[in-house]
């Protein structure tokens, strides 16, 4: 095997292991702890947790840059030879645009955030992310649940980037676009919540598209998490809202049941799409990559405050669309259980 595709596979796997831990320790727990009276001992514990999360940002950033750069170079060099790593052939403008965005990210790290460069950077990021979603939608066929979820994610980040660009325009260039940007951000958050709910459909809980019964414990864990959010909202909402806004970027303006159902959908999909039966319950040949992308979504976040988060979002979308496939290849047979029901479709008949 060529060393470059093998190295790319290892980088993706390391990133999937490090980024969620960085998010959990460095953002979710650390930022929530700042709102809690913990005493001297608790403060020391939370400080240590935050330090570990902060330390993990740099290796995760390097892995994200290496993954995106390696995938783009391989796709430009010989798409057919590395299709097992990068998935289907990438359009050359996508690979070239990804390399250009990486270069722009490194330039911004060196120059800081002057308003014009920040505007250009967010516009380039919006074009790249929506381009990845567009390629995924154009090339997917026969899997309506996933197309709906992917379209909702595209709408969500389209709303966020509209907000980011209008905020820069209003703050630094005097453009009266603040109200429009806030509305776009709210629309994006609503679309993100709907995408979380749609993951229940994508992951095969409802409606069931095969003869397989969903694992009861998947649904049980998802229901438990959603139920805890519903119950906790009756006692305390301020800390939940602050912790969520500072870690992921959601304002939680929608009714609590919507948020609870969206979180339950994400939990169920994270379990189902990372299981051995992922391809069968979802109908996606790249189901494991989709599962990895689901795990990375919170780490990328909705409000993208760091270059690292933009790059991590690009990796996440490449995995979700199957354009990057470190765990499966186009030609690999999908595992089938013993004595499969006749209702089970062959996921390999649906290609990207």
Encode pLDDT of 84-124 as tens digits.
566 678 888 999 999 999 999 999 888 878 899 999 999 99
Residue 185 has pLDDT above 80, yes or no: yes
Its sign, for the CA torsion 324, 330, 333, 334, is positive
CA 348 to CA 329: how far, in whole Å? 11
Condensed to tens digits (0 to 9), the pLDDT of residues 7-37 reads: 888 899 999 999 999 999 888 887 777 666 6
> What pLDDT shows up at residue 346?
36
Tell me how long the chain is.
Answer: 352
> What pLDDT shows up at residue 351?
36
Q: Which residue has the higher pLDDT, 190 or 328?
A: 190
DSSP 44-94: HHHHHHHHHHHHHHHHHHHHHHHHHHHHHHHHHH-TTTTHHHH-SPPPHHH
Q: Which residue has the higher pLDDT, 240 or 340?
A: 240
* Residue 2 main-chain phi, psi, to 5 deg: -60, 140
pTM > 0.95: yes or no: no
Condensed to tens digits (0 to 9), the pLDDT of residues 212-270 reads: 667 888 999 999 999 998 898 777 766 677 678 778 989 999 999 999 999 999 999 99
> What pLDDT shows up at residue 239?
63
Condensed to tens digits (0 to 9), the pLDDT of residues 46-75 reads: 888 888 988 999 999 999 999 999 999 988
* 154's tokens: 């595209």
């Amino acid at each position: 095997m060529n060393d470059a595709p093998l190295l790319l596979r290892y980088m993706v796997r390391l990133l999937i292991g490090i980024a969620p831990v960085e998010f959990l320790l460095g953002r979710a727990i650390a930022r929530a702890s700042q709102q809690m009276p913990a005493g001297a001992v608790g403060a020391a514990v939370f400080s240590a947790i935050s330090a570990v999360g902060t330390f993990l940002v740099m290796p995760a950033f390097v892995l994200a840059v290496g993954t995106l750069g390696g995938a783009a170079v391989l796709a430009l060099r010989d798409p057919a030879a590395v299709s097992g790593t990068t998935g289907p052939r990438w359009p050359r403008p996508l690979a070239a645009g990804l390399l250009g965005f990486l270069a722009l990210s490194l330039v911004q790290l060196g120059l800081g955030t002057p308003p014009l460069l920040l505007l250009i950077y967010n516009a380039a990021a919006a074009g790249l992310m929506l381009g990845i979603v567009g390629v995924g939608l154009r090339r997917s066929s026969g899997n309506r649940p996933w197309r709906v979820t992917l379209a909702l994610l595209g709408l969500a980040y389209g709303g966020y980037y509209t907000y980011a660009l209008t905020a820069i325009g209003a703050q630094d260039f005097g453009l009266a676009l603040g109200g429009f940007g806030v509305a776009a951000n709210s629309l994006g958050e609503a679309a993100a919540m709907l995408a979380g709910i749609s993951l229940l459909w994508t992951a095969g809980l409802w409606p069931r598209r095969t003869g397989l019964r969903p694992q009861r414990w998947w649904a049980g864990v998802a229901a438990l998490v959603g139920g805890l959010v519903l119950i906790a909202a009756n006692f305390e909402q301020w800390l939940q809202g602050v912790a969520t806004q500072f870690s992921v970027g959601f304002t939680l303006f929608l009714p609590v049941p919507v948020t609870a159902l969206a979180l339950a959908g994400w939990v169920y999909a994270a379990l189902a799409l990372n299981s051995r039966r992922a391809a069968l319950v979802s109908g996606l040949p790249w189901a494991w990559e989709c599962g990895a992308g689901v795990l990375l979504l919170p780490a990328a976040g909705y409000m993208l405050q760091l270059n690292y988060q933009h790059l991590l979002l690009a990796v996440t979308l490449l995995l979700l669309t199957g354009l990057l496939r470190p765990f499966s290849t186009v030609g690999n047979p999908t595992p089938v259980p013993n004595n499969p029901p006749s209702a089970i479709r062959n996921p390999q008949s649906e290609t990207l």
